Structures are given as C-alpha cells and as structure tokens.
Structure 1
Amino acid sequence: MSQSALTALTLPHNAVWFVTGTSSGIGHSLLSSILSAPGHRVVALSRDPSAIPLPSTSTKDNTLLVPVDLKSKDSIKAAFDAAIKTFGRIDVVVNNAGYGLIGELESVSVTAGRELFEINYWAPIQITLEAIRIFREVNPLSGPIGGVIAQVSSAGGYITAPGQVYYHSSKWALEAATESLVKELDPEWHIRAVIFEPGSVKTKWSNANMVDGGQHPAYVREESKMLGTDLIRNMAGWEGKLGAEARDVANLMAKVVRDEEGKWGGRNLLRLPVGADSWTLIKSDVEEVRCNLEKWKKESESTSPGDVKETLKALGLIQE
C-alpha cells in the first residue's frame, strides 16, 4: 500500500527528544548529538539514570533524567507524564533500548525469547502508542502538531544470521509494525517515522548486551566443522574491524531526524541502513529476492486469474 503524502514537518527550535537506552552506546552518544542543536532538549531514560555520564552541554534546563522499567506499562506512562510535566511536549521519540540473545532455536528457552520481546518489541510498541497520542493531542497546545518516531532496529531487522532467532524476530516484528502504522495515520497529524538499521557498531551489544541462551548438544561440533551459531560466537571483536563509532551513528541519526538536508520529501523514511556493512548486506539480500522473483515469476502468477496489477493499483496497494 502506498504512503499518503505528508505535509512538511519542521521540528520546533526547542524540540524535545524522548530517548530510551541512554546509559551507553548509541543512546548515550545521542545525548550529545541532540544537544548540539541550540534549544533542543532531551528526556534520557534508563533503568538507572544516575549512572548516565552526561555531556558538557547538558543542563538542568535541557536534560531530564527519568528512570524506567521497560517491562512495565505503568512505568512507561509515568516517564511520559514526567516529560510532559517538565517540558510540555515531545517532538521526537527514539526507541533505542534493546539487547541480543544468542543460541540455536532448540537451545534458547521460550521464556528467554518472550523476555527479549518485552524489551525489543512490546516496549517500543507501548512507547509508540503514547507518542502518537502526545503528537496529536498534546503538542498542538504548545506548538506544531506532530512529531517523529525513530525506531532503532538493525541490519538484523531485514536480514538474518544463525543463532539470533528471537533477536531477528523482534526486530522484524518492530519494522513490520512501524511500516503498517504509517499507512494507518492521518497525514494531517504530521507524524513521521524512520527505521534505522545499523550494522556493526562499537558498543556493548555483542558482550554486555548479549545474553547467551546456551547450546543444544546436537549442535556441538569440532572447530573445523562448526555450525552457524558457533561461527557467530567466534566472531568476538568483529566490531573492531567493521564497527562504526557510536557517536558517528548517533550524529547521523540526529541529522536525519532533523532532516537537515531536506531529503524526507513529504514521505516517511521507512528504512535507512546505517553503515557500509548494513547497506551491503541488505543490498545483497534485496538482489537475491529480486532474482528469485524473476526466476519463479511464472509459477507465482499461475494461480491468479489474469492480470491483477491494475486491481492492486486501484486498491492503493502498489504504485508506479
């Protein structure tokens, strides 16, 4: 389904950002990126805000530290209430918090998978729901209607690697939900969405933020015959060769959200690979899909009653 055109959205000079996962990595670097714009303010969320090292540009007037339990709907609501009480509005929501879970599908417990979904999927969904309401109903009371929803996904939100079933599933689900959401919203609400898909970044993701779900004995192999998950486990330190600096990723994200180069063009930016590794891997996957579509086109179309393209266009499901 094609996107409805959006009226140009310009963030106010004193835009308020609401960011999860700010204690380290991309989320922490975002604090400096956000506050580099004069007048912009930030609500920094973390399980323990007192542990967040703040940039020199942070003051009591432009930074609000809020504790949050992302597994709790009430805690998320309380964080939004605190932000509105302090700043009166929210213009950008960045769903950055998340973690990885490595292990074969047969080895990782379903309980562990459900717990990951609470943080990687359900928390961003709950935050997105609160954001839409505030963008539409609260923001007009103090300035322009609307805002930006930024989902920090991953190259793994589009492609997959072994040993990451639940992580990939959570990111794919978040991307699908976001893509569907933007097709539901009224363009007059001026709500935009962007999905960032970072590749490797020099953060704690592959160590402190990666839970090991164990290994099923059937997958144990000697080193020369390792299966996929162990190959991924043995890529320790790969961020040093491929990984972008978190500050560079954060600066790009802030620049894109602010639309500093005017590239949004009245549309949502549904997916933006971040990093040459992400771009290359996703491009390769897209090419493989394209090749398979052409290879199996006859078989795919054989079940349909004639040319359905015009009907799909009439229904607004595709555009040229």
Structure 2
Amino acid sequence: MKNTNNNENKKVWFITGASKGLGLSLVKQLLADGQKVAATSRYVASLVKATGETSENFLPLHVNLADENSVAEAIQATYNTFNRIDVVINNAGYGIGGSIEELTDEEARESFDINVFGTLNVIRAVMPFMRAQRWGHIINISSIAGIASGTGWALYAATKFAVIGLSEVLAEDVKEFGIKVTVVAPGAFRTNFLAADSLVLTQSPIDAYQDVRNTHARYLQMDGQQIGDPEKAAAAMIKIADDENPPLHLLLGEDAYNRAMAKLLVLDKEFRLNEELSKSMAYQG
C-alpha cells in the first residue's frame, strides 16, 4: 500500500549517523526540499551546527545506536513529532582495519555493535510503526567491502557482509506489509571516512603482516582524493525512495560497480570449477 498521507510527496525520514559524510549530505538535501527529517548523532550540537537548521521539519536526536532503549526512544520521538515514519536510512558506521589476529575481541565487538547491531536495533524499533501504516522503505548502507573486500579489512567486511545478508532476508520478511528494503553498497566517496574519527586501525600491528600495512597506507593516501561525490550518492538514495519498485541492491560508484562485477566472475568460475564435487553429496542407492 502506498503512503497517501504525504503532502506533495513529502516524506518523513529517519537517518542515523547524520552529522557528517553521506548522512549529512542526505539531511541537507532533504531539508532543502522541504521534507521532514529526524537525524541521529552521538553529538547533537555538531549535527545542528553542521546542518545550520532549526526549522520544525528537523528533529536532531542524540542516540547511542548500540543501546536498544536509546534507539527505541528516538524512533518513538520521531513518530510523536511527525505522526509517521516513511523512510529509514541506516547510515551510521565506521571502518576498522587490521588482520583478525591484530584486532582485539573488544574492537571486533564494538564494530559489530555499531555497524550491525545498531542497524538491527533501528529495524526492530521502527517495524511496529511501519507494519501498522502498511508502508515504508528501509535503506541499509553497506559497502562494496561487503561484496568484494581485500587485504586488511576482514572485520569491516564481515560487518558489511552481515548488513547485506540481513537486508536480503528482511526484504522477504516484510514485503507482505508493503515495506521495501534496499541495501546500498558504496565505493570510495570523498567524505571523512578515512579520518581518525571514522576509521579505526589496529593498535597492535604485527610485523609479519606487511601486506596489510601496505594496503592501509594506500587507502590513507586516498583521503580527499576519492572519486565519488557524496552529494550525488545522497541524491541517488533520495531518488530510489520515490521509486514504485526500488532495487534490493544498489551499487554506488564506478569503483563499486567494477569490483562487484569482478567478484561475480570469480564466484562463477569457482562454483563451476567444483560443480561435480558440489553435486556429488547425495546418498547412493
């Protein structure tokens, strides 16, 4: 069922991780278009300052995404303020680099808390509202690393693979309620993703992992030189929220497209190479 309550196709958006990067670009474009936006951040003052917005269409929220109660309170506050929630964008997350051996259990769990469980907390909290209204669109931001990663990013890739997997099944689970799901896999965009507050690198490097060090050095040199324009990425996500049949998977960036297609070729080759063995597992007789 389509939302027939929107005035002139304006929507109510709930966006996490909104004080910088793609999240901030989304908030600014939506508010400039007169749409209603609830936006979360760990630092609300920074969010308000970055947007320069004080209108009644804007609800800045301090949220700890790893805390289920904090998330539930933010979702309820959004509904109380705007009377519905049309689009959720689970954008918050951060990068983590290092071999598995070099990263602690605490670092791994903190990464999953934000990149995966934060997304799950938002989905759990918003679903009762979307089920009741029989419409909605959940957009989860993964990464091309969740499709085709590389040396030195095992835990980051694991969190982003998880976001893709949960999104694919979520789409099946909620389609009967008129709710759409899209998982977005961006490539490299010119945000502050490579800055210290968005990227954690191992604090206990092991000399043997020289390839990992070299990979990280190359990525850090990209800071400020990424080919992707975050304003175009934000506009693309806003566009698909207006589509009658939005994609389940959306690649953003030529680099993301090329890496994903290369991964498809690798999988096709490997699966076919072992086809006979794969199919030989049945009981005989």
TM-score under structure 2 length normalisation? 0.91
- 1:202 is aligned, of 190, 195, 199, to 190
Match of 1:61 in 2: 56
* CA shift in 2, pair 1:10/1:238, >3 Å: farther
Q: Does 1:20 align with 2:20?
A: no
Secondary structure of 1:17's aligned partner: strand
More helix by share: 2
Match of 1:172 in 2: 161
Match of 2:70 in 1: 75
* CA shift in 2, pair 1:14/1:242, >3 Å: closer
* CA shift in 2, pair 1:122/1:293, >3 Å: same
Match of 1:291 in 2: 269
Q: Distance in 2 between matches of 1:290 and 1:92?
A: 35
Match of 2:172 in 1: 183
Q: Distance in 2 between matches of 1:180 and 1:43?
A: 26
Asked if structure 2 preserves the Cα contact closer than 8 Å seen for 1:11 and 1:258, the reply is: no
Q: Distance in 2 between matches of 1:85 and 1:9?
A: 18
Match of 1:105 in 2: 100
- 1:163 is aligned, of 141, 152, 162, to 152
- 1:122 is aligned, of 108, 112, 117, to 117
Bigger radius of gyration among the two: 1
- 2:258 is aligned, of 280, 291, 296, to 280
List runs of 5+ in structure 2 lacking aligned partners.
Answer: none
- 1:212 is aligned, of 194, 201, 207, to 201
- 1:248 is aligned, of 213, 225, 232, to 232
Question: For residues 74-113 of structure 1, what are the alpha-carbon distances to aligned partners after superposition, in whole Å with 9 as ceiling and x for unaligned?
Answer: 1111111211111111000000000011111111101110
Q: Distance in 2 between matches of 1:30 and 1:61?
A: 17
Asked if structure 2 preserves the Cα contact closer than 8 Å seen for 1:16 and 1:42, the reply is: yes
Secondary structure of 2:267's aligned partner: helix
TM-score under structure 1 length normalisation? 0.81
Q: Does 1:154 align with 2:143?
A: yes
Match of 1:316 in 2: none
Q: CA RMSD in A?
A: 2.1
Asked if structure 1 preserves the Cα contact closer than 8 Å seen for 2:98 and 2:212, the reply is: no
Match of 1:35 in 2: 31
Letter in 2 for 1:18: F
- 2:87 is aligned, of 78, 84, 92, to 92
List runs of 5+ in structure 1 lacking aligned partners.
Answer: 1-6, 221-225, 307-320
Higher RCO (CA < 8 A, seq sep 6+): 1
Letter in 2 for 1:15: K
- 2:46 is aligned, of 34, 51, 54, to 51
How far does residue 186 in structure 1 lie from its aligned partner after superposition?
4.7
Percent identity of equivalent pairs: 26
Secondary structure of 1:236's aligned partner: helix
